[in-house]
């Protein structure tokens, strides 16, 4: 019997995403053979699919599918970045995105019942992926655009996905705007989209930051000073007000208007956004597993 070392357990954990105790058992059952142990874990996963459902899935991938003015983004989560980069996981996410595009599903629940190109439902394909990859996998969010306007669907590094609808202009400009949204994450499209309560709160904050000398200035002068600060804040928080990443000499608004176009809207998905990630101490976990 081969010695089951901590380094072997750690390597199998990183390769498969399985728990430390599961990895130790797999290596014991397979005489320390990593490949055989990984296969053993996958086979065991067929039985344990349900037990994985409560594991945190904060990693994963944003997949995209587009056909002209129809485009979708789907965020699909895994437990580890290792699995998110696995070719089987990538193939699954691409299949789900294509199913979302073809079915016209408006939300995740509808998408689960949609058929993939292979004939199985998305939910059936998800369960199979869980069994094969040994991790909890969840379809979390869906974004869709369907319009006669120009549409850009852009994914950066598999982690940030953006859809942009552009009236006028061309596909190249739409893609450039999508890249900007991916990079700069503007909360709003235009100044008119910024909530009034946000502006009121910012005015209150800016006024509180002012010195007594400034506050003593005439009301009209004070209003101009505050107005200038608020205008800057609005620019920072809107797509149209930001400097265009592909040409920082002008704003997005100036770029779009020069092309006779208008950004109708955009959607942005980031993998794991809003999910509290579990930070694991692999060294401590391996040591604990080896002591059992």
The radius of gyration of the chain from alpha carbons, rounded to an integer in Å, stands at: 25
In a domain, residue 195? The reply is no
Per-residue model confidence (pLDDT) at position 281: 54
Do 21 and 69 fall within a single domain? no
Per-residue model confidence (pLDDT) at position 215: 77
CATH number of the domain at 76, please: 3.30.479.20
Report the number of distinct structural domains present in the chain. Answer: 2
CATH number of the domain at 37, please: 1.10.8.10
Say which residues have a Cβ less than 8 Å from residue 208's Cβ, sequence separation at least 6. Answer: none
Do 18 and 97 fall within a single domain? no
Tokens of 277: 């990630």
Per-residue model confidence (pLDDT) at position 137: 93
In a domain, residue 65? The reply is yes
In a domain, residue 110? The reply is yes
In a domain, residue 94? The reply is yes
Per-residue model confidence (pLDDT) at position 87: 95
Do 51 and 77 fall within a single domain? no
Do 18 and 48 fall within a single domain? yes
In a domain, residue 198? The reply is no
In a domain, residue 246? The reply is no
Do 51 and 122 fall within a single domain? no
Do 97 and 32 fall within a single domain? no
- End residue of a domain, out of 107, 129, 146: 146
In a domain, residue 26? The reply is yes
Do 23 and 81 fall within a single domain? no
- End residue of a domain, out of 91, 124, 146: 146
Look up the pTM and report it.
0.75
In a domain, residue 84? The reply is yes
Expressed as residue numbers, the domain containing 50 is 6-55+278-291
Alpha carbon distance 137, 158 (integer Å): 16
Q: Where are the alpha helices (DSSP H) in the chain?
A: 6-16, 20-29, 34-48, 81-84, 87-103, 108-113, 122-133, 171-184, 196-209, 212-215, 219-236, 252-258, 282-291
pLDDT in tens, the chain (292 residues): 678 888 888 887 766 667 778 888 888 999 988 888 877 877 766 334 444 544 556 799 999 999 999 999 999 999 889 899 999 999 999 999 999 999 999 999 999 999 999 999 999 999 999 988 888 899 999 999 999 999 999 999 999 999 999 999 999 999 999 999 999 999 999 999 999 999 999 988 888 888 888 778 888 888 888 889 999 999 999 999 999 999 999 999 999 999 999 999 999 999 998 876 655 555 555 555 555 4
What b/e readout covers 105-138, taking b as 16+ CB neighbours within 10 angstroms? beebeebbebebeeeeebeebbbbbbbbbbbbbb
- End residue of a domain, out of 95, 122, 146: 146
Alpha carbon distance 5, 20 (integer Å): 12
């Amino acid at each position: 019997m081969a010695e089951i070392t901590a380094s072997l357990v750690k390597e199998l954990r990183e390769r498969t995403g399985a728990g430390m105790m599961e990895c130790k058992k797999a290596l014991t059952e397979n005489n320390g053979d990593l490949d055989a142990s990984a296969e053993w874990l996958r086979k065991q996963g067929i039985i344990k699919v349900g037990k994985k459902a409560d594991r945190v899935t904060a990693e994963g991938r944003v997949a995209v599918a587009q056909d002209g003015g129809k485009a979708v983004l789907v965020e699909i989560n895994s437990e580890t970045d290792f699995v998110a980069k696995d070719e089987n996981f990538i193939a699954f996410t691409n299949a789900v995105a294509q199913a979302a595009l073809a079915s016209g599903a408006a939300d995740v629940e509808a998408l689960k019942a949609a058929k993939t190109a292979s004939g199985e439902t998305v939910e059936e394909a998800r369960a199979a992926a869980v069994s094969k990859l040994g991790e909890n996998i969840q379809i979390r969010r869906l974004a869709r655009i369907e319009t006669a306007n120009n549409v850009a669907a852009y994914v950066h590094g598999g982690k940030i996905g953006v859809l942009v609808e552009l009236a006028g202009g061309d596909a190249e400009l739409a893609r450039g705007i999508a890249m900007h949204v991916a990079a700069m994450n503007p909360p709003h499209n235009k100044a008119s989209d910024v909530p009034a309560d946000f502006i009121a709160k910012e005015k209150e904050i800016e006024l509180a930051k002012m010195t007594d000398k400034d506050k003593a200035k005439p009301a009209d002068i004070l209003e101009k000073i505050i107005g200038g600060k608020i205008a800057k804040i609005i620019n920072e928080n809107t797509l149209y007000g930001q400097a265009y990443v592909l040409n920082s000499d002008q704003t997005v608004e100036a770029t779009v208007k020069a092309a006779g176009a208008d950004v109708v809207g955009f959607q942005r998905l980031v993998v794991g956004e809003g999910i509290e990630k579990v930070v694991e101490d692999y060294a401590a976990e391996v040591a604990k597993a080896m002591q059992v």
